[in-house]
């Protein structure tokens, strides 16, 4: 079978999920996630590929992809910066973090920096309410943010591809002496 | 040292506890599963859980044993257990900690539940943003499979249990149990009309139980220490401990496990360290964003299902959000309505359209363009949403609005009369997304 957009590895990863479910349609969410990891976003050709693998119509896949907020329907930067704006974070200064990020990156909400490194988004509650303000960058959370901490995280990511300031297994209040 | 005996958070409160299978077993883990598989019948366990009084920790507080007993005993086909790890209720972050710090505790509970209801297949529906949690769970599941704690013929009992992690993709509504099922089936997360209830026609139309992470995590302890022990904690029909997530303007936000029935005063002023900067308390939400707001006059109400309900709110998910005197209530209500408007699944017109209209009015009041009659219009709109939708989202989204008007009407009136927000006179306000 020839697929238009997905890599061989992505197709293999999707097929490896099949035994977990009694039907193919249940793989729609896992397949969209894999496609996004493969391409950085969910393109139309990728959705057509998924439909073929799962024996669905493309519209069935598109219907699901457009319902969930985590699927990027267009390309985003290498690092997708998502700041939580819901009440608990808003009460402790989420707006000032968003403002700082806008200035620091020189972009507005929903935009990507010219070098393609960072996309800034504002999102709803990420279940980090006691450790706000917070943001998620790709697959990690960064919490109890200050403007200085944000600067450090951005430069870590740009220079090393990761930051030691990412939150590990969560615990609040933290044990003394334990991260 | 915590004042109350820890149950669910006990292991993770030990310095150096890793949450690995080895660490969990050293702390006595999986003894309850072995015990039930070797010595107890499924009916026995359901009876024990009923006697314990355990109620769902996700938000609705439905009696867990009773929920299980709705699964038809004579069903010929498959049965399913879905663990609801879609923790999305604003103010709530306890399941995240239970998953990331002690994953085997909930996995053991999940296996016990599967045995009790006769399900050989379980899915853990974890919210898409919990990448770390999903990794931790996947690793824990692999460890447990290698030790034959999941898979075929557990402890030589002939019982089989398989479990997989199913990751969501960003949708609050998928925490609603039937939306969760739709989402696993690869569809939009739109709640189903009930009845039929999931216990009869659930996942793939088969009998299904959906239980929250914290609910399942309680099961090994109920088996090990007995229903009487569990029922002796808490008050009235709210038994056991509860992990409350405290956030907002307190000195020590965090997840605190206490017996149900401690007062809000103790929770905010003692356990969470009191108000940040010692400012006066203005309002709080006792059980996640869906729970109506409360005022300082409610501080002596105990945190249990019945007492909070009687006081006009709901214990919900146990997420307590605390707001100090300088918080603008119209702004807070608007913030929550932005959340609900964004998260409405769009299935029911009153919710899909109504949330937008309510938000529009809140925006204009907060920006100083409120009109005479806007408050009444808000109340009117809210009444046309609640009770008129397929799921409980309708009640949830009007809760913060109606309660904020009820408790702080004068503040709304001031916004309209003075044509500006007394707290944010130059507000640019909401961050649209």
pLDDT along chain B (433 residues), means of 10: 88 96 98 98 98 96 97 94 98 98 98 98 98 98 98 97 98 97 98 97 98 98 98 97 98 97 97 97 97 98 97 96 97 97 97 97 96 97 96 96 98 97 70 46
Q: Give the chain B residue whose CA is nearest to the CA of A120.
A: B433
- Contact call for B132 and A168, based on CB within 8 A: yes
B84 touches chain A (CB under 8 A): no
- Which domains occur in chain B, in start order? 11-232 (3.40.50.11540), 242-324 (3.10.20.600), 329-418 (1.20.1440.230)
What is the pLDDT at residue A175? 76
Whether the pLDDT of residue A81 is over 90: the answer is: yes
pLDDT value of residue B427: 56
**Which residues constitute the domain of residue A63?**
8-67
Q: CA of A87 to nearest chain B CA: how many angstroms apart?
A: 6
A48 & A103 share domain: no
DSSP H/E element including A15: helix A8-17
Average pLDDT over residues A100-125: 97
List all residues of chain A from 120 to 139 with a beta carbon under 8 Å from chain B: 121-132, 136, 139
Q: Which two tokens stand for residue B399?
A: 């809760």
Q: Does B101 touch chain A (CB under 8 A)?
A: yes
**CATH number of the CATH domain containing A47:** 1.10.10
Residue of B nearest to A174 (CA): B254
Same domain (yes/no): A37, A88 = no
Buried b (16+ CB within 10 A) or exposed e, B199-231: bbbbbbebbbbbbbbbbbbbbbbbbeeebeebb
Least Cα separation, residue B266 to chain A (angstroms): 17
Residue A93 belongs to some domain of the structure: yes
CA dihedral B45, B47, B50, B51 (to 10 degrees): -110
pLDDT at B411: 98
Crossing angle of helices B94-101 and B103-117, rounded to 10°: 100
Q: Using CA atoms, how far apart are residues B108 and A163, in angstroms rounded to an integer? A: 34
Residues A108 and A34 reside in one and the same domain: no
Residue B2's pLDDT is 65
pLDDT digits (tens, 9 = 90+) for A15-49: 999 999 999 999 999 999 999 999 999 999 999 99
Average pLDDT estimate for A101-110:
97
Residues A109 and A160 in one domain: yes
Q: Which of A46, A67, A88 lies at the terminal end of a domain, its last residue?
A: A67
pLDDT of residue B329: 97
What separation in angstroms does the CA of A68 have from each of A54, A100, A155, B171, B189? 19, 28, 30, 6, 8
What are the CA-CA distances from residue B162 to residues A155, B45, B110, B153, B374 (Å)?
A: 43, 20, 10, 11, 54
B222/B237 Cα distance (integer angstroms): 16
Query: Is the minimum CB–CB distance between B183 and chain A shorter than 8 Å?
Result: yes
Reported as type and span, the H/E element at residue A160 is helix A147-160
Residue B292 token pair = 């109506």
Shared-domain flag, residues A162 and A83: yes
The residues pairing with B235 across neighbouring beta strands, listed in sequence order, are B238
Report the CATH number that the domain containing residue A147 is assigned in CATH: 3.40.30.10
- A53 and A93 part of one domain: no
- Per-residue confidence (pLDDT) for residue A179, from 0 to 100: 43
Question: Between B78, B187, B327, which is nearest A91 by CB?
Answer: B327
B contacts of A126 (beta carbons < 8 Å): 129
Question: Does the beta-carbon distance from A86 to B339 stay under 8 Å?
Answer: yes
Distance CA A2, CA A41 (A): 20
> Is A73 domain-assigned?
no
Select from A23, A98, A140 the Cβ nearest to the Cβ of B431. A98
Q: Do residue B343 and residue A124 have CB atoms under 8 angstroms apart?
A: yes
On the question of pLDDT at A176 being above 70, the answer is no
Q: Considering A67, A101, A117, which residue would you say is the last residue of a domain?
A: A67
Mutant choice from B162, B186, B285 vs A, greatest count of A C-beta within 10 A? B186
- What are the chain A neighbours of B164 within 8 Å (beta carbons)? 20
pLDDT for position B432: 45
Contacts 24+ apart (CB under 8 A), B154-159: B154/B33, B154/B37, B154/B111, B155/B33, B155/B34, B155/B37, B155/B38, B157/B37, B157/B38, B159/B37, B159/B115
- Assess contact for B237 and B59: CB atoms under 8 A: no
Q: How confident is the model at residue A2 (pLDDT cuts 50, 70, 90)?
A: confident
Q: ipTM score here?
A: 0.97
| Dihedral angle, C-alpha B268, B424, A112, B189, nearest 10 ° | 50
Domain count, chain A: 2
């Amino acid at each position: 079978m020839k697929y238009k957009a997905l890599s061989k590895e992505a197709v293999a990863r999707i097929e490896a999920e099949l035994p977990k479910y009694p039907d193919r349609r249940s793989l729609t969410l896992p397949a969209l996630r894999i496609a996004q990891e493969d391409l950085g976003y969910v393109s139309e050709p990728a959705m057509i590929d998924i439909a073929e693998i799962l024996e669905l119509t493309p519209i069935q896949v598109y219907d699901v992809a457009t319902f969930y907020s985590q699927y990027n329907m267009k390309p985003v930067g290498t690092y997708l910066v998502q700041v939580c704006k819901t009440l608990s974070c808003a009460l402790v200064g989420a707006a000032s973090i968003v403002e700082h990020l806008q200035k620091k990156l020189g972009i507005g909400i929903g935009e990507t920096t010219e070098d393609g490194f960072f996309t800034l988004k504002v999102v709803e509650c990420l279940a980090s309410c006691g450790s706000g303000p917070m943001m998620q960058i790709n697959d990690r959370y960064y919490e109890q943010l200050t403007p200085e901490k944000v600067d450090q995280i951005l430069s870590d990511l740009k220079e090393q591809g990761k930051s030691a300031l990412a939150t590990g297994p969560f615990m609040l209040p933290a044990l003394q002496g334990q991260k | 040292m915590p004042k109350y005996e820890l149950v669910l958070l006990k292991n993770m409160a030990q310095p150096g506890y890793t949450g690995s299978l080895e660490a969990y077993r050293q702390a006595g883990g999986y003894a309850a599963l072995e015990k039930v598989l070797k010595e107890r019948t499924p009916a026995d366990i359901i009876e024990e859980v009923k006697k314990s009084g355990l109620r769902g920790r996700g938000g609705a507080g439905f009696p867990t044993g009773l929920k299980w007993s709705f699964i038809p005993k004579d069903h010929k086909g498959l049965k399913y257990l879905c663990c609801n790890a879609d923790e999305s209720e604003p103010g709530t972050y306890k399941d995240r900690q239970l998953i990331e710090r002690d994953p085997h505790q909930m996995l053991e509970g999940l296996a016990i539940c599967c045995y009790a209801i006769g399900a050989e297949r379980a899915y853990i529906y974890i919210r898409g943003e919990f990448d770390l949690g999903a990794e931790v769970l996947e690793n824990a599941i692999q460890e447990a499979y290698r030790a034959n704690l999941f898979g075929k013929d557990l402890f030589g009992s002939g019982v089989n249990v398989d479990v997989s992690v199913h990751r969501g993709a960003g949708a609050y509504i998928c925490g609603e149990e039937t939306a969760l099922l739709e989402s696993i089936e690869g569809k939009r997360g739109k709640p189903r009309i009930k009845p039929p209830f999931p216990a009869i026609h659930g996942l793939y139309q088969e009998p299904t139980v959906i239980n929250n992470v914290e609910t399942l995590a309680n099961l090994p302890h109920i088996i090990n220490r007995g229903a009487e022990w569990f029922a002796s904690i808490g008050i009235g029909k709210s038994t056991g401990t509860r992990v409350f997530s405290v956030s907002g303007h307190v000195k020590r936000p965090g997840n605190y496990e206490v017996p149900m029935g401690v007062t809000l005063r103790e929770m905010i002023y003692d356990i969470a360290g009191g108000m940040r900067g010692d400012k006066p308390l203005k309002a709080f939400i006792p059980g996640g964003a869906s729970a109506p707001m409360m005022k300082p006059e409610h501080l002596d109400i105990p945190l249990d299902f019945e007492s909070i309900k009687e006081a006009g709110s709901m214990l919900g998910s146990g997420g307590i959000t605390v707001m100090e005197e300088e918080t603008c209530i119209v702004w807070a209500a608007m913030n929550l309505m932005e959340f609900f408007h964004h998260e409405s699944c769009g299935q029911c017109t009153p919710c899909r359209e109504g949330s937008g209209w309510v938000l529009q009015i809140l925006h204009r009041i907060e920006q100083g363009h409120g009109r005479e009659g806007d408050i009444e219009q808000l109340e009117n709109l809210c009444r046309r949403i609640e009770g008129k939708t397929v799921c409980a989202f309708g009640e949830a989204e009007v809760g913060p609005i109606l309660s904020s008007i009820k408790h702080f009407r004068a503040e709304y009136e001031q916004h309209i009369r003075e044509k500006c927000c007394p707290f944010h006179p130059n507000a640019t306000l909401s961050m649209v997304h």
